[in-house]
Amino acid sequence: MRKQRALPNPTGAAMPPSPASKPSLPTPAPARVTPLAVRRHTVKGAGGVELCVAETGNPEGRAVLFVHGFCQSHLAWRYQFESELARDFRLVAMDLRGHGDSDTPEGAYADSRDQAGDVHAVITALRLHRPVLVGWSYGGVVVTDYLRHHGDAQLAGVQFVGALTRVGRPEFFADFGPGFLQLVPRLLGQDADGGLAALAEFASLLSHQPVPAERLAEVVAYNSRVPLHVRLGIGQRVADGDDVLPRLKVPVLITHGQADGVVLPATSQHIASRVQGAELSLYPEVGHSPFSEDAARFNQELAAFVARCA
């Protein structure tokens, strides 16, 4: 049986937590620590695509590989890279193909083997020994791509964060919040500006908690770098990881904000129902970005999870 902290009902509306587990409101932001040096790598992914990978932290610690979502970049994980996690763990964050400082090839986003190959290439090139793989939002689809083609033998654990594991079919649209669904046509180029204004609106949907202006500007900036052909390629993907999830043998942590308006909380409950022994951790008053909206709790739970996976 999976472990649960506070479950949403199938409509995504929150139910009262069980007496044994009372989720708290967002905890105070963690104290910022002096950032360690960030090393940048260029890794050849599937088909020779060059991938930008950022790394910080303890080179002798357990590795954590972060996989961001649609239109994001490795900079999404700033509150992990600049936290005490870096003291104990080797923190690695990749820019997906088409995102950030990675290559943006045409027509290279529909094949699960390419996405899986990119993740595998990073693990291999950086010699990450049994990393914990963390997939946020669309990054959850990429994680299931990896699991489909490579299994979990090289992993210590998997964390899904506000994650999708299926996209592209009408029956999967229920996984998304209505505000995001209304924005999708514009993100995919319906507007004359190619979706740039829509990307700024999308950035504002990523958090339920207030976001400092300078941080929001940073998010808008790296969202806006993703070319239209990349957004269209991902928007046209069809993927379903439901058959992959039950095969997971490593520990699994599923994290979701209960106020998520991009990927509805019921999606994580669905993932938990497919993974034997998965732990579901829900964050009240938190939206699509638990790792920044409640970074203190997120970092504590990630550290404890990585320790359990060792």
Would you state the pLDDT for residue 310?
Answer: 76
On whether the pTM is more than 0.85, the answer is: yes
Say if 90 falls within a structural domain.
Answer: yes
Would you state the pLDDT for residue 49?
Answer: 98
Tokens at residue 26, please? 């967002």
Would you state the pLDDT for residue 39?
Answer: 97
Domain range for 168: 34-309
Say if 44 falls within a structural domain.
Answer: yes
Would you state the pLDDT for residue 112?
Answer: 98
Say if 21 falls within a structural domain.
Answer: no
CATH number of the domain that residue 134 is part of: 3.40.50.1820
Would you state the pLDDT for residue 34?
Answer: 74
Please answer whether residues 58 and 274 qualify as being in contact, where contact means their C-beta atoms are separated by less than 8 angstroms. Answer: no
Would you state the pLDDT for residue 35?
Answer: 77
- Rg, the chain, Cα only: 18
Say if 51 falls within a structural domain.
Answer: yes
Over the chain (310 residues), the average pLDDT of each successive run of 10 is 40 32 50 80 98 98 98 98 97 99 97 98 99 99 99 99 97 95 93 88 95 94 96 96 98 98 98 98 98 98 96
Say if 22 falls within a structural domain.
Answer: no
Distance separating alpha carbons of residues 227 and 249, to the nearest angstrom: 37
Would you state the pLDDT for residue 193?
Answer: 85
Say if 1 falls within a structural domain.
Answer: no
Would you state the pLDDT for residue 10?
Answer: 31
Say if 117 falls within a structural domain.
Answer: yes
Please count the structural domains in the chain. 1
DSSP string, the chain: --EESSPBPTTSPBPPPPTT--PPSPPPPPPPPPPPPPEEEEEE-GGG-EEEEEEEE-TTSPEEEEE--TT--GGGGHHHHTSTHHHHSEEEEEPPTTSTTS---TT-SS-HHHHHHHHHHHHHHTT--SPEEEEETTHHHHHHHHHHHH-STT-SEEEEES--SEESSGGGGGGB-HHHHHHHHHHTT-STTTTHHHHHHHHHHT-SS---HHHHHHHHHHHHTS-HHHHHHHHT--EE-TTTGGG--S-EEEEEETT-SSB-THHHHHHHHHSTT-EEEEETT--S-HHHHTHHHHHHHHHHHHHHH-
Say if 95 falls within a structural domain.
Answer: yes
Would you state the pLDDT for residue 29?
Answer: 55
Tokens at residue 303, please? 């550290």
Would you state the pLDDT for residue 30?
Answer: 56
- CA-based nearest residue to 297, from 258, 255, 262, 264: 255
